[in-house]
Chain A
Amino acid sequence: MYSKDGNDYFVVDAHIALWDARPENQLNIHGKQFIDCFYDYHRNLSPESEVWDYEQYLYQGGEKLMADVFADGIVDHAIFQPARLGEFYANGFGQTEEASALAQAHPDKLTYNHYWDPRDGENGLDKLRENAERFQLKGVKLYTADWHGDSRGWKLNDPMAYRYFEVCRELGIRNIHIHKGPTIRPLDRDAFDVADVDHVATDFTDLNFVVEHVGLPRLEDFCWIATQEPNVYGGLAVAIPFIHTRPRYFAQIMGELLYWIGEDRILFSSDYALWTPKWLVERFVDFQIPEDMTEYAPITTDQKRKVLGLNAAKLYDIPVPADLQVAEADATATGPRDPDAADKNLAMA
């Protein structure tokens, strides 16, 4: 729990990872390039005091993860969203055994989501059933730009993917986290294209689709799809650290999200170990839309409470103390959720 100015916030970090990008786990140059790309994101967007050295960035281990993610008791619960990257890393990027063991040791603090890939075919469906039981899965993380043999990516509406979604539905795996790009080779296709989310969200209305990074760099396409589907959510991973170097851009992102998808469908995520949650939570609680950006309404304390934890807690049935709850907004199921948010004449303050 985080407290500031007499307000208490229940905090769920909806996207963390326990990765291993050390050279001994890298299969090829792409393994190095992938973590280097992350490290540049980290160095570019972090406050100076939060920048790690490169060695530290390659691998953290469970003990450091617990210390970083739950520093000062701010984060109440965190959810693993592992990326497989089996073509880049010998033992994968997300460390299944270590992360799931950690979640098992701290069930009140951690939830382990696993992944699946439709290109694993029939065997993968059996494996999904096995993993659902082993990890008690409530959610999965899907990475459509992942390589698999000769394949350079897949789409959520591929026929085989639908077989997997049907198994998710059957097993009660309700939360589908979708990660688009970055990638080095989907080539002619736009790896960041979120159009396939629209198809699955319509066809599986009983599943929740959380688009990570709120679709960045395709924020506009994500907003447009999400506003039309009651079961599409946005995860703030990679978007929220803009709060430091580019606060006005972050204000625009939040303004657009609140307008199009509304306060009940936005989830806080640090994307640990890309960034640590502590400074992000502190900054977000202090954050406000700049006064001259009159096209967006100010963000309320209750909206911040929902984004920081209550929305994710609801998706994952994480118990929240009654005094920290906030009522749901009286928003429409589809269409711009908060059309009156803005000053219509855009007068500069």
Chain B
Amino acid sequence: MTAVLTGVTAAAVREALGGVVDPELDEPVTDLGFVRSVTVRGADVEVHLRLPTSFCAPNFAWLMVSDARDAVRAVPGVGRVVGERDDHPDSDLINRGLAADADYRGTFGHEAEESLDELRATFHRKAHTAAMERALTSWVRADPTRTEDDVAAVRLGDLPAGRQTDSLLSRRAALGLPTDPSSPVLLGPDGTPPAPEHVALTFRKARSVRVSVDGNAHFCRGLLTTRYPGSETDQVFRPSIDSTLPLEVLR
């Protein structure tokens, strides 16, 4: 067989990496500034990721680096993929494991008791809860006559078209939750609408999840720029529910 002209570009690789999400912050690694470099040599691709501290948990690091490898492998024409995480106590271990195509437990041996599926599922649920709260808080704020107690009646079809609603729908789909317009927006942790007396509490609880996810994202973004001066130019503005004022107002 003759050699195939691949035409793999760094831009195509970066675009693929845009689908890799930090599970905890629910944001693409490209927007967070975590992609340090992308090098393409023919069909071979080398990707380096950098994270905010050396104390970022290795389980999350593993998820991101292995997802990045899988995403880049799916780009048409890509041959060998090297995905590396830089400057972490376990960089060598993670990088060796990935190079050998080992799974997580194969890499960390006795220190890993379970797979990471459950961890990933927990953060998928949190991402959905935060998206649900953003959609509902925006809905309440849009009309001064609406109150917290009204949110139980809101259906997906009542939400305005746009980024927030799209974000909610995609997280619903990822979890296998209903996406039809007649489906209630407010769901409890078990995926069903809460009883009337639990509506306000469920909404409030969702708010604490959103505050936490957004707050962590801002702190991690800040720490990355402290650790890697200049990395802020790679970061994409994270929209806030308080759109008039970002969470971070000082440098």
Contacts and interface: CB of A to CB of B under 8 A. Distances in A.
Interface string A171-199: 00000000001111111111110000000
B57 A183 contact: yes
Given A256-B211, A346-B141, A40 B251 contact: no
Contact of B148 (A192, A259, A346): A346
Interface in A235-259: 242, 244-249, 252-253, 256, 259
B251 A37 contact: no
Contacts of A36: 54
A260 B246 CA distance: 24
B205 A346 contact: no
A249 B247 contact: yes
Interface stretch (A78-86, A112-120, A156-164, A218-226): A218-226
B179 interface: no
Interface residues of A, number: 55
A224 B212 contact: no
B55 A183 contact: yes
Interface string B222-251: 110111000000000000001011111111
B244 A292 contact: yes
Contact of A184 (B89, B207, B208): B89
A62 to B, nearest CB: 28
B211 A186 contact: no
* Interface size range of chain B in the complex: 35 or more
B240 to A, nearest CB: 8
A290 B246 CA distance: 13
A185 B108 CA distance: 10
Given A40-B223, A260-B208, A346-B137, A187 B59 contact: yes
Interface stretch (B37-45, B111-119, B162-170): B111-119
Contacts of A293: 242
A256 B56 CA distance: 25
Residue among B116, B122, B147, B212 with the highest chain A CB neighbour number at 10 A: B212
A44 B223 contact: yes
A43 B229 CA distance: 12
B80 interface: no
Nearest to B118: A188
Contact of B114 (A44, A188, A290, A346): A188
Interface string B20-62: 0000100000000000000000000000000011111111000
B58 A185 contact: yes
Given A219-B211, A346-B137, A347-B141, A184 B222 contact: no
Contacts of A244: 250
B58 A259 contact: no
B58 A44 contact: no
Given A344-B148, A345-B148, A220 B209 contact: yes
B154 interface: no
Interface of B: 24, 52-59, 88-90, 104, 108, 110-116, 119, 122, 126, 137, 140-141, 144-149, 200-201, 204-205, 207-209, 211-212, 214-216, 218-219, 222-223, 225-227, 242, 244-251
27 contacts: A33-B54, A34-B55, A44-B219, A185-B108, A185-B111, A188-B113, A188-B115, A189-B113, A191-B57, A217-B216, A220-B211, A224-B208, A246-B215, A246-B219, A246-B248, A246-B250, A247-B249, A248-B247, A249-B247, A249-B248, A252-B247, A256-B211, A290-B245, A336-B204, A345-B147, A345-B148, A347-B144
Q: Which 3 A-B pairs have the closest CB atoms?
A: A182-B55, A220-B208, A33-B54
Given A45-B222, A187-B58, A248-B242, 19 more contacts: A33-B55, A181-B57, A182-B55, A183-B57, A184-B88, A216-B215, A218-B212, A219-B215, A223-B208, A224-B205, A242-B215, A245-B222, A245-B251, A246-B215, A246-B247, A256-B208, A292-B245, A346-B141, A348-B244
